[in-house]
């Protein structure tokens, strides 16, 4: 029995009875001894890990109506040489109580999630080090200068080592050319070959021995094991033949030296190519300036951006990038926000407008009051979101992970079988050694490990540059598999800026009905509320005071208005009234019709017009051209829904669908075997967004991170939905190509090597180039438009 003691914080407890309830729920779990404290809002656990998992405990707490706060951390990894290393680190971390870890071999990082207070950075790093690898914490700061300097220095060091290896290996290449020309005895003395090959084997190749030792000590095996074992066999045999003076036997110093040199070359090219996959992150980070011009003590001072605080007055001159999120106090300028929102044209902004860190000022100077600084800016949120998405794992990668986990031991077994079978059948143990070395050298799972994450990193980065933010790799993959897309109407197909198109008033005047309705809507953020308030302001109407505001999603709003009593505004069906002919005509024209009741009596009807976005019809046609069914679900009446659907080119639609019923409609489509995407505003549509296979939120500016959605379309344009699906399909195509190349490489390469059809040197070159080809193929996604 292995028991661990943990203290978990708990959110949602409101009284001592809550603590008792949680204790009862946990008491039913086998292997759990729990003591809940209402005062400290925590639970003390003694957990028998042989009988129970921490995940089961947190799930039980969630089912009881409470929650355990979750923490997350990102660590940079060192010492990984192939996909098997990534699999090994994941297994080690996931054995820790409550830990869920995802390793990205391409970016050499791991994302770790765990219940708050159960793990520390030191404990996680220690577990990784025990497995034979290195790790360090990544800061949340956008500035990656130190990391870039470190990587540049490491690359220069690796380049020097490779050049030394190449210099020592060149004579062997000349020897091989001489043998190909018919000089079977060669011209390089064996003693000199030994002298040249030894530093390559043990100085240049020390990294492979070190990596192999660390992996084996941690209970795993990786590419380093294959390279170290294969080259050691070739060098060791050749050294024995040379020192023993066995001139009738061949030596294979050129194989060991050339393999190590070619593997290093492949790693250098791979590192250079992998660096380009994070180009989107670097482009976003470069948007943030290092210095800001700030008003202080009656003058101006240049201050490091890291020292700014909310409330500072920042001056942004023509051609400068904005260092903070804020509101313009004075001045006017055009702002290029293309890398933040995907909007290609600069936006003119003046006093009162919001500006965002990373946007570039053009044709003017402004004074800004900072509202978001450092990690609280929209730019920092985007960088964090993109980095997390690039580090996540796509479902399509599961097969590659399973294979990578058992690949190296299987290859070693095949190499041993090849050695034994070749030696017995051919009667030449020297030839058997060559075949076994070729098997070990060619069978590297690097290409397999890089196939998916490199394409995901480039695809997600490409989307970020165009204002399409994927929350994770699963969202990127699912978007490309959609067979049906459900569209909301308001703010998705339409502008989301409704205008009052007409009023039918009864006993009261039109202005009185508008004023009372606006008084109620003053407490709402709905687009209808903004339309009514704008009309009331334009007409110079005074609004009476209101209180007791209540919003009923999909139905309407009500409030007590001073002097008249309760006022209701909403769906005619909610108020129990039928539409007159004039109101029905509005609905047939695509207007939303709402009824107004004052003190329990019908006071009139209002028509709200919301224009279709100019791009909506083209986007719908584009989706249909991709073979995707398009359905519109809206809470508006059937006549209004029919008018908007016809204008947008949508043949399938449903009106009078409440927000809670949209989720049920999507569930029905899913049960019919369809992959369903939902596009909405992320507020009333949250339930539907949550149940869809892939959800898209129409966002812009300050609404960059809508929690309910898998994908945020920052420009709020349906054409970006089309782009997101096309980008997802292009990324999936690259992943399939990469996996095909990786699988076919090993499927063909290992048998060829086993049957002696591949020289170890050729095998080493093929192994090195396989990883480079996969990464290079992924980089072609950067050309996607």
Indicate which residues carry an active-site annotation: 488
Whether 777 and 745 have beta carbons less than 8 Å apart is answered as no
Q: For the chain, how far is it from start to end, CA to CA, in angstroms? A: 57
Within a 13 Å sphere around the CA of 438, how many CA atoms are in the beta-carbon half? 25
Question: Is there a contact between 565 and 583 (Cβ–Cβ < 8 Å)?
Answer: no
**Can you tell me which residue has the tokens 């050691």?**
232
H/E segment holding residue 581: helix 581-588
The backbone torsions φ and ψ at residue 523, rounded to the nearest 5 degrees and listed phi first, read -95, 10
Name the phi and psi angles at 654, rounded to 5: -140, 130
The first and second tokens of residue 612, run together, are 């279709």
CA atoms within 13 A on the CB side of 387: 25
Nearest alpha carbon to residue 650 among 685, 682, 612, 698: 612
Ramachandran sector of residue 581 (left: φ over 0; alpha: ψ -120 to 50; beta: rest): alpha
Residue 751, exposed/middle/buried by CB under 10 A (0-12, 13-18, 19+)? middle
How far apart are the C-alpha atoms of 696 and 476, rounded to whole Å? Answer: 11
Cα–Cα dist 109/98, whole Å: 19
Distance of CA 111 to the CA centre of its chain: 11
Q: How far apart are CA 86 and CA 254, in angstroms?
A: 31
Contact 480, 732 (CB under 8 A): yes
Residues near 619 by beta carbon (within 8 Å), at least 6 away in sequence: 717, 718, 719, 721, 722
The CB-side HSE value for 609 (13 A sphere, CA atoms) comes to 10
Classify residue 62 as left (phi > 0), alpha (psi -120 to 50) or beta.
Answer: alpha
* CA 389/CA 379 separation, integer angstroms: 15
The three-state secondary structure class of 284 is: helix
Q: Phi and psi at residue 293, in whole multiples of 5°?
A: -95, 115
Distances (CA, A) of 66 to 18, 30, 173, 490, 551: 9, 20, 68, 34, 26
What are the start-end ranges of the E strands in 634-752?
652-654, 676-680, 694-698, 711-713
**Dist. CA 485–CA 585, nearest whole Å:** 29
- Report the distance separating Cα 667 and Cα 688, nearest Å: 9
Residue 64 φ/ψ, nearest 5 degrees: -80, -5
Rounded (10°) angle between helices 253-277 and 446-465: 20
Is the CB of residue 301 less than 8 Å from the CB of residue 294?
A: yes
Collapsed DSSP state (helix, strand, coil) of residue 704: coil
Cα–Cα distance between 115 and 212 in angstroms, integer?
33
């Amino acid at each position: 029995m292995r028991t661990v003691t943990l203290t978990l914080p708990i959110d949602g407890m409101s009284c001592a009875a809550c603590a008792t309830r949680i204790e009862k729920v946990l008491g039913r779990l086998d292997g759990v001894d729990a003591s809940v404290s209402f005062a400290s809002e925590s639970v003390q656990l003694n957990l028998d890990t042989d009988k129970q998992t921490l995940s089961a405990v947190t799930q039980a707490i969630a089912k009881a109506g409470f929650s355990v706060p979750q923490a997350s951390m990102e660590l940079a990894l060192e010492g990984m040489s192939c996909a098997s290393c990534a699999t090994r680190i994941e297994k080690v971390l996931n054995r820790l109580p409550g830990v869920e870890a995802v390793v990205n071999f391409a970016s050499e990082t791991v994302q770790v999630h765990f219940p708050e207070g159960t793990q520390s950075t030191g404990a996680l790093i220690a577990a990784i080090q025990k497995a034979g690898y290195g790790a360090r914490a990544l800061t949340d700061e956008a500035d990656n200068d130190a990391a870039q300097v470190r990587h540049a220095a490491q690359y220069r060091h690796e380049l020097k080592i490779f050049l030394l290896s190449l210099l020592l290996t060149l004579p062997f290449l000349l020897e091989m050319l001489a043998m190909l020309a018919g000089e079977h005895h060669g011209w390089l003395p064996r003693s000199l070959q030994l002298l040249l090959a030894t530093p390559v084997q043990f100085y240049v190749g020390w990294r492979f021995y070190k990596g192999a030792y660390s992996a084996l000590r941690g209970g795993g095996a990786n590419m380093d094991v294959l390279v170290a074992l294969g080259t050691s066999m070739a060098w060791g045999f050749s050294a024995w033949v040379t020192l023993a003076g066995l001139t009738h036997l061949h030596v294979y110093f050129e194989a060991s030296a050339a393999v190590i040199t070619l593997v290093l070359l492949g790693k250098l090219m791979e590192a250079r190519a992998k660096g380009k996959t994070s180009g989107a992150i670097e482009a976003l980070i470069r948007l943030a300036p290092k210095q800001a011009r700030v008003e202080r003590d009656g003058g101006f001072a240049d201050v490091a951006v890291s020292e700014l605080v909310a409330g500072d007055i920042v001056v942004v001159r023509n051609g400068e990038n904005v260092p903070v999120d804020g509101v313009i106090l004075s001045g006017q300028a055009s702002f290029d926000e293309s890398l933040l929102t995907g909007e290609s044209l600069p936006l003119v902004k003046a006093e009162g407008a919001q500006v965002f860190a990373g946007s570039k000022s053009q044709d003017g100077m402004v004074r800004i009051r900072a509202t978001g600084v450092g990690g609280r800016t929209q730019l920092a949120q985007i960088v964090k979101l993109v980095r997390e998405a690039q580090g996540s794992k796509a479902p399509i990668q599961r097969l590659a992970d399973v294979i990578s986990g058992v690949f190296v031991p299987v290859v070693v077994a095949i190499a041993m079988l090849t050695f034994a079978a070749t030696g017995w059948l051919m009667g030449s143990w020297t030839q058997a050694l060559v075949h076994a070395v070729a098997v070990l050298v060619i069978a590297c799972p690097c290409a397999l490990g890089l196939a998916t994450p490199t394409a995901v990193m480039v695809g997600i980065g490409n989307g970020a540059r165009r204002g399409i933010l994927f929350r994770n790799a699963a969202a990127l993959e699912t978007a490309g598999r959609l067979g049906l897309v459900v569209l909301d109407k308001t703010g998705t197909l339409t502008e989301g800026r409704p205008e009052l198109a007409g009023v039918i008033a009864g006993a009261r005047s039109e202005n009185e009905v508008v004023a009372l309705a606006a008084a109620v809507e003053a407490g709402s953020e709905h687009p209808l509320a903004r339309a009514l308030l704008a009309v009331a302001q334009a007409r110079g109407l005074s609004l009476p005071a209101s209180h007791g505001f209540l919003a009923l999603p999909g139905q309407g709003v009500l409030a007590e208005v001073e002097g008249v009593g309760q006022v209701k505004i909403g769906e005619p069906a909610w108020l129990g009234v039928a539409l007159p002919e004039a109101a029905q005509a509005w609905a047939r024209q695509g207007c939303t019709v709402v009824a107004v009741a004052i003190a329990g009596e019908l006071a009139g009807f209002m028509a709200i017009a919301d224009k279709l976005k100019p791009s909506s019809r083209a986007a719908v046609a584009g989706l249909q051209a991709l073979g995707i069914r398009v359905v519109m679900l809206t809470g508006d009446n059937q006549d209004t829904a029919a008018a908007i659907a016809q204008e947008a080119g949508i043949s399938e639609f449903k009106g009078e669908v409440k927000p809670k019923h949209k989720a049920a409609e999507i569930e029905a489509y899913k049960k019919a075997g369809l992959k369903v995407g939902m596009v909405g505003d992320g507020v009333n549509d949250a339930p539907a967004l949550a149940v869809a296979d892939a959800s898209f939120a129409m966002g812009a500016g300050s609404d960059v991170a809508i929690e309910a959605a898998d994908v945020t379309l920052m420009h709020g344009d349906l054409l970006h939905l089309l782009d997101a699906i096309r980008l997802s399909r292009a990324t999936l195509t690259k992943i399939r190509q990469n996996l095909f190349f990786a699988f076919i490489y090993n499927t063909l390469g290992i048998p060829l090597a086993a049957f002696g059809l591949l020289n170890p040197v050729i095998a080493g070159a093929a192994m090195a180039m396989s990883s480079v080809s996969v990464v290079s193929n992924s980089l072609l996604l950067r050309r996607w438009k």
